């Protein structure tokens, strides 16, 4: 299952949405469930774990 942030488009590939978006800080209520067909095409286009770490590093840089 995947969840999409309605604010910035970030995708969380987990059973449940994050409490806050790691990219823009939007609350869990701003995440929408993504359908499996979309998830499949998404997984084919990138490796989620590497992208997550890259985005977190980017966000940490902005914070400092
Ligand atoms: Zn977001």
Q: Round the average pLDDT of the chain to a whole number and report it.
A: 80
Whose tokens are 């409490």? That residue is 19
The pLDDT value given to residue 35: 76
In this structure, what token pair is assigned to residue 45? 């286009």
Structure confidence by residue, pLDDT tens digits, 26-50: 999 999 999 765 555 555 555 566 6
**What's the CA-to-centroid distance between 56 and ligand 1, angstroms?**
12
**Distance, CA of 32 to CA of 50 (rounded, Å):** 22
Please state the domain extents for the chain. 2-63
CATH of 2-63, one of 3.90.660, 2.20.28, 1.10.287, 2.60.40: 2.20.28
Distance of CA 47 to the CA centre of its chain: 12
**What's the CA-to-centroid distance between 17 and ligand 1, angstroms?**
11
Q: Which of 6, 11, 47 is nearest to 26 (CA)?
A: 6
pTM: 0.54
**What's the CA-to-centroid distance between 20 and ligand 1, angstroms?**
8
């Amino acid at each position: 299952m995947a969840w999409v942030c309605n604010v910035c488009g970030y995708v969380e590939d987990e059973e449940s949405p994050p409490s806050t978006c790691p990219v823009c800080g939007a609350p869990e209520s701003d995440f929408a469930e993504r359908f499996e067909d979309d998830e499949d095409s998404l997984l084919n286009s990138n490796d989620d774990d590497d992208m997550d770490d890259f985005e977190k590093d980017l966000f940490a840089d902005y914070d400092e």
